Amino acid sequence: MVARLRQNAEVIQEVPLGYAGVESTYSGELRMPFSGSYTLEVLAMEPRNANFGRAERALTVAR
């Protein structure tokens, strides 16, 4: 699993997400570079079973 921070169509950061010890829960850390509007995208991949998922949420950072 990975998390991507995007601004417009550009990927600003990508970090791996590790198992957080609770079923269906993962964690990772992104650093927010600047104030602005971003999209957080989470990708889950299990290629051997052809199982893929994707979710995204809009974020606004104000400093």
**pLDDT, tens digit, for every residue of 7-29?**
998 999 999 999 999 998 999 99
Name the phi and psi angles at 34, rounded to 5: -150, 165
Q: What is the per-residue pLDDT for 47?
A: 87
Q: What is the per-residue pLDDT for 10?
A: 95
Q: What is the per-residue pLDDT for 31?
A: 87
Give the whole-angstrom CA distance, residue 54 versus residue 42.
6
Q: What is the per-residue pLDDT for 13?
A: 95
Q: What is the per-residue pLDDT for 63?
A: 78
**pLDDT, tens digit, for every residue of 29-60?**
998 888 999 999 999 988 899 999 999 999 99
